[in-house]
Amino acid sequence: MTSAYPEILTRIDNALEAARDVFSRFTAGAIEAEFKAGHDPVTEADRAVDAVLRENLLRDGEGWLSEESVDDFSRLGKRRVWVVDPLDGTREFVQGLPEFCVSIGCVENGRPVAGGIYNPATREKFLGAIGSGVTYNGSPTRPSQRKTLDGALVLASRSEVKRGEWAPFENAPFKVQVMGSVAYKLALVSAGLADITFTLTPKNEWDVVAGAALVQSAGGFVSTLDNTVLTANNRNPLLSGLLAGGPHLKAALRSVLEPHIHHTAAETER
């Protein structure tokens, strides 16, 4: 990989390897979880990986935003910020489902420019940066080149499907596969292992920044629900939702989703 961000990618790769070593000390499906405010689970693994990521990634003058760290907002004045989720898919990790990952995103001036995602259960590593492309387990890859939604593979959130949020798409022309971890879904899309993923439900920056950086670095599209470019390192890290996929699918996907996007926005405002 000829890199536009060689030092950043090296740092991300080293951090992913350090996280892999931490995960080797735990067994998915055989770990206790506590519950934070909002009923989100957290485990000893989340905290241990958070510590090793900070140690490997953060340098003087850089900002930090992590699901497992207190946000002191000093990041808002930094040009470069690390946006990480030490364990995306904690529910799946606790249940022993192989759909969890460590997610590392690098943001410069509000723009996701590099990312790395590693799934310890499947041993899949996704690494990339703007101007450098993406590698999947060390080999160059690219997103889906499909031109239509007919037969496209769309990755859906397991919890969203359980809540009935995907019911409107039961007769859509694409195939839906249910999966945990939004970061892992975005990584799979970046490597062309699925055509599309989307969520019309609010997500935090640490859920999606790394995956968004990968999809864009690979040549795919990433869009907010209001059809704008994703910006990160906001004071409020909660995003309304996200669409991502192969480069030729954006218009067709938005056409299918548009009525539901407006409905979601109206519900949110009530």
Q: DSSP assignment of 164-175, as one string?
A: TTTGGGTTSSSE
Higher-pLDDT residue of 161, 90: 161
- pLDDT level of residue 3 (50, 70, 90 thresholds): low
**Whose structure tokens read 């950086």?**
213
Sheet holding 63-66, edge to edge: 63-66, 80-88, 101-108, 111-119, 124-129, 133-136, 139-141
Average the pLDDT over 199-214 and give the result. 96
Average the pLDDT over 228-239 and give the result. 96
CA atoms within 13 A on the CB side of 238: 6
Three-class secondary structure of residue 189 per DSSP: helix
- Residue 34: predicted pLDDT: 64
Dist CA 42 CA 146 (whole Å)? 38
Q: What percent of the chain has pLDDT over 90?
A: 79
Higher-pLDDT residue of 269, 7: 7
Per-residue pLDDT tens over the stretch 62-87: 999 998 889 989 999 999 999 999 99
Dist CA 194 CA 174 (whole Å)? 11
Q: Determine the residue type at 69.
A: S
Of 200, 214, 192, which is closest to residue 130 (Cα–Cα)?
214
* φ, ψ (nearest 5 deg) of residue 163: -80, -5
Dist CA 212 CA 198 (whole Å)? 11
Locate all alpha helices (DSSP H) within the chain, ordered by sequence. Answer: 6-23, 44-57, 90-95, 158-162, 182-190, 205-218, 250-269
Is the overall model pTM greater than 0.85, yes or no?
A: yes
Q: Which two tokens stand for residue 256?
A: 């299918």
Average the pLDDT over 31-48 and give the result. 67
**Domains of the chain listed by start with CATH number:** 6-140 (3.30.540.10), 153-269 (3.40.190.80)
Q: Which two tokens stand for residue 57?
A: 């990634």
